[in-house]
Amino acid sequence: MKGLEAFSLIILFLLSTIGLNAQTVKFVTGEWAPFTSKDISGQGFVTEIVLAAAQEAGIRVELFFAPWARCELMVKSGEAFASFPYVKTEKRQKSFNFSDTITISYAKVFYYAGFAKEISWSTLADFLPYRMGAVRGSSDVETLVNAGIKPIIATDSNAAFGMLKLGRMDYYPENELVARMSIKNLFPGDVDKFLTLTRPYSSNSLMLLVSRTYPKSQELLLKFNSGLATIRKTGVFQAIQKKYGL
Does residue 198 share a domain with residue 214?
no
Q: How far apart are CA 12 and CA 160, in angstroms?
A: 53
Query: What is the pTM (predicted TM-score) of this model?
Result: 0.82
pLDDT digits (tens, 9 = 90+) for 19-43: 444 569 999 999 999 999 999 989 9
Same domain assignment for residues 117 and 193: yes
Report the domain count for the chain: 2
* The pLDDT of residue 16: 46
pLDDT at 41: 85
Give me the CATH number covering residue 27. Answer: 3.40.190.10
- Domain limits for position 53: 2-103+205-243
Strand duo 60-65 + 24-29: pairing: parallel
In this structure, what DSSP letter does residue 59 have?
Answer: P
User: What confidence score (pLDDT) does residue 246 get?
Assistant: 76
| DSSP strands (E only) in the chain | 24-29, 60-65, 82-86, 97-98, 103-112, 133-135, 152-154, 172-175, 194-196, 202-210
Residues 26 and 116 in one domain: no
Residues 84 and 126 in one domain: no
Same domain, 50 and 98: yes
Helix (H) or strand (E) holding 225: helix 217-234
- With bands split at pLDDT 50, 70 and 90, how would you rate the model's confidence at 179? very high
Report, as an integer, the average pLDDT of 238-242: 94
Helix (H, G, I), strand (E, B) or coil at 152: strand
pLDDT digits 0-9 by tens, 114-163: 899 999 999 999 999 999 999 998 999 999 999 999 999 999 999 999 99
| Whether residues 112 and 90 fall in one domain | no
Same structural domain, 93 and 111: no
Write down the pLDDT at residue 85.
Answer: 97
Predicted local confidence at residue 137, as pLDDT:
86
